[in-house]
Homo-oligomer: A and B are copies of this chain.
Amino acid sequence: MLGQIDVNKELGKKEYEKKMEKLEIRFGELQRACKDRGIPVMIVFEGLDASGKGTMINRMIQSLDPRGFKVFTLGREKEDEVMRPYFWRFFTKTPERGRIHIFDQSWYKGVYEKDISEKEVLDFEEMLTEDGMLIVKFFLMISKEEQKKRLDKLEKNSETSWRVTGQDKENNRNYDKCLRKYDRLLVHTDTANAPWTVVEGTDKLYASCKIVSTVVDRMERAIRNADMQAAAKADMASKADTASKAGTAAKAGTAAQAVAPDQAGSPASSEHESDDLMQPDSRGINDLFRNGVLQGVDLSKTIERDEYKKKKKDLQKRLLALQNKMYLKRVPVILAFEGWDAGGKGGAIKRLTQAMDPRGYEVVPVAAPNDIEKAHHYLWRFWEKIPKAGHMTIFDRTWYGRVLVERIEGFAAEDEWSRAYNEINNMEEQFANAGCIVLKFWIHIDKEEQERRFHERENTPEKQWKITEEDWRNRAKWDDYERAVDEMIVRTSTADAPWIVVEGNSKYYARIKVLETVVSALENRLS
C-alpha cells in the first residue's frame, strides 16, 4: 500500500485553507451526529518516525467538542500494563458509544515490536467493528530524505534532541526495509470495516486536509448505515405490530383498522429527520477535498518512432530469452492489464506477445461473466486461468472489474466491492508466495486523448467495431471511474504485486514502458 500513494499536486495553500475550514465545521457537526446516535469512534495514527503524528492529531482536534473526545499517546508500557495481557491497555481504552478516542500509536506497535500476530489485531478490530465501532486508521509517510531532515532538526534543538533515538536513525538508514515491513502489515490489516488511509505527511496542510476529509467521509457512512439499520428495525417492528393488531382484530371478528404505512413510520429515522446534516448532497462537502495518484501522472512523456522501433526490437529479443529461462526455472508470471477505454491495452499486449513462444503464454480477454461464472464466487473464473509454474497468463481486463465497473455501475453492492480490496490482496499474495511474478498495469490517458481516439475509431472503417455506445456512456462517468481507480491503486499496490501506472497518451511510450517493466522484472528474478 506504500508503493503508490496520493500526491499533492492540485492546489495552492489558500485553497487548502479554505477547504480545511469547511471540513472542520463539518467534522464538528458529525461529532454531534455520532454522539446522538451512540456511535463510538476510534481514530488511529501510525506512521514512520518523525512523520508528524502529533501535529496532525493536534490540528484535527481543534474542531471537536473537548467533552466528547480523548487522546491517548502510547508511551512505554506502564507497570500495570506489563502485568496484564497485551490488549488490556487498549480494550480498557475503547470509547463509550458516542465518544471519540484518538490513538497516537496503537495496538499495531505489538506487531512490529512484540510477538503479537496480525490475526490477533484483526480479531480485535473485527470484534469492535461488529459491535458498531467506527475505526479510522491512518499511516503517515514521509520520504527518506524528509525523515533525515526532520530527525536532524529535532536533534540539533536542545529541547527536542531527547526525542531522537539511535533506533530512529537506524530506521532512517534502513528506510526501504522498514517500508517493506510496514507495507506488508498494512496490506494484511486493510479490511473492509477498518481500512487504512496512507497519508503523505511532508506538506502538513495537505496532510491534515486529507485526514479530516477521510474521517468526515467515514463518519458520514457510519451514520448513514446506523440510520438505515435503525429504520429497517423500526420498520420490522411496526410491521410485526401491524400484523399482530390485524391478527387480534381478525380473531375478535371485527374489521381491523388498517394502519397506513406512512403513519406507522419509523421512530429511529424520524428522530433524525430534522437533522439535515445527512442529506444527499453531503457528498459534495467531501468533494471539497480531492487528490489522487492519477493527478500526479505526467502524460506529456513521449518517444520518437525510430527509438521506439529500436528499443522494441531489443526488448522483444530479451523477452523471448527470458521466457525460456522462466520455463526452465518454473517461474509463473501473471500480467494484468487495466486502463481507460481506447487507452491502448490491446496494442501493448500485442507488443509483448509478438516475440514470445505461444506455447508458454495465454492471453485471457475478460468480458462480462457467463452463467457458469456467475454461479461462482467472482474470483473463481480467474483462479481457473492462473498459469502453471513456468507459464505466463496475460489478463486483458481483470478481477479489478469488481472495484471498477461493478462498483460504478452498481453490479456489486458497497459491502461487496469494499471487501474486495482485501480479498484481492490476499489472492495476489498467494500467487506471490507460490513464486509467481505479478505485475499490474494501468494504462492511463486523459479525457481529451480518449475523445480524440473515439472519434478516430468512428471515422476509420476497420476500427468502427471497437467503439460502441457503451464506451461513450462510460466516458460520461469519467470522474467516478477516476476516483475508483485512485482508490484501487492505492489500496492494492503491494510489494508483491505492484501497480505500474503507464503514461499512455503516447502509444509508443506506453508500449516501451510495459515491455521494459516486464523484462526488468523477469531479469531481476531470473538472474
Interface residues, chain A, with chain B CB atoms under 8 Å away: 38, 40, 80, 82-88, 91-92, 94, 96-98, 118-120, 122-123, 127-128, 130-131, 133, 188, 232, 261, 330, 332, 372, 375-380, 383-384, 386-390, 419, 422-423, 426, 430-431, 433-434, 436
Question: A84 contacts which chain B residues (CB < 8 A)?
Answer: 332, 386-389, 434
Question: A433 contacts which chain B residues (CB < 8 A)?
Answer: 85
Question: A87 contacts which chain B residues (CB < 8 A)?
Answer: 383, 430
Q: A84-B386, A91-B383, A97-B376 are in contact. List 19 more A-B contacts (CB 8 A).
A: A40-B375, A80-B388, A83-B330, A83-B332, A83-B389, A84-B434, A85-B436, A86-B434, A87-B383, A88-B386, A94-B380, A96-B375, A97-B375, A118-B119, A120-B426, A123-B422, A127-B377, A127-B423, A261-B261
State A300–B231 Cα separation when bound (angstroms).
Answer: 54
Contact (Cβ within 8 A) B92 A383: yes
Contact (Cβ within 8 A) B98 A375: yes
Contact (Cβ within 8 A) A375 B118: no
Question: A122 contacts which chain B residues (CB < 8 A)?
Answer: 119
CB distance from A117 to the nearest CB of B (A): 8
16 residue pairs from A and B, CB less than 8 Å apart: A83-B332, A83-B390, A84-B332, A84-B388, A85-B431, A85-B434, A85-B436, A86-B430, A91-B377, A94-B376, A94-B380, A96-B375, A97-B375, A120-B426, A123-B422, A127-B377
Q: Which 3 residue pairs are nearest across A and B when measured between Cβ atoms?
A: A85-B434, A96-B375, A83-B389
Give the residue of B91, B378, B436 whose beta carbon is less than 8 angstroms from that of A379: B91
Question: A389 contacts which chain B residues (CB < 8 A)?
Answer: 82-84
Closest residue of chain B to A95 (Cβ to Cβ) is: B376
CB distance from A216 to the nearest CB of B (A): 24
- In this complex, which of A92, A122, A436 has the most chain B Cβ atoms within 10 angstroms of its Cβ? A92
State A6–B347 Cα separation when bound (angstroms).
Answer: 64
State A83–B436 Cα separation when bound (angstroms).
Answer: 10
State A376–B419 Cα separation when bound (angstroms).
Answer: 26
Question: A387 contacts which chain B residues (CB < 8 A)?
Answer: 84
State A82–B434 Cα separation when bound (angstroms).
Answer: 10
Contact (Cβ within 8 A) B372 A96: yes
Closest residue of chain B to A123 (Cβ to Cβ) is: B426
Closest residue of chain B to A428 (Cβ to Cβ) is: B85
Question: A118 contacts which chain B residues (CB < 8 A)?
Answer: 119
State A332–B131 Cα separation when bound (angstroms).
Answer: 29
Assuming the A-B contacts A38-B375, A386-B85, are A92 and B380 also in contact, with contact meaning beta carbons closer than 8 angstroms in the complex?
yes
Contact (Cβ within 8 A) B86 A377: no
State A94–B372 Cα separation when bound (angstroms).
Answer: 12
State A80–B434 Cα separation when bound (angstroms).
Answer: 13
CB distance from A98 to the nearest CB of B (A): 7
State A154–B50 Cα separation when bound (angstroms).
Answer: 66
Question: A375 contacts which chain B residues (CB < 8 A)?
Answer: 38, 40, 96-98
Question: A188 contacts which chain B residues (CB < 8 A)?
Answer: 119
State A88–B130 Cα separation when bound (angstroms).
Answer: 30
Closest residue of chain B to A87 (Cβ to Cβ) is: B430
State A122–B188 Cα separation when bound (angstroms).
Answer: 13
State A244–B82 Cα separation when bound (angstroms).
Answer: 60
Contact (Cβ within 8 A) A88 B419: no
Question: A130 contacts which chain B residues (CB < 8 A)?
Answer: 419
CB distance from A241 to the nearest CB of B (A): 14
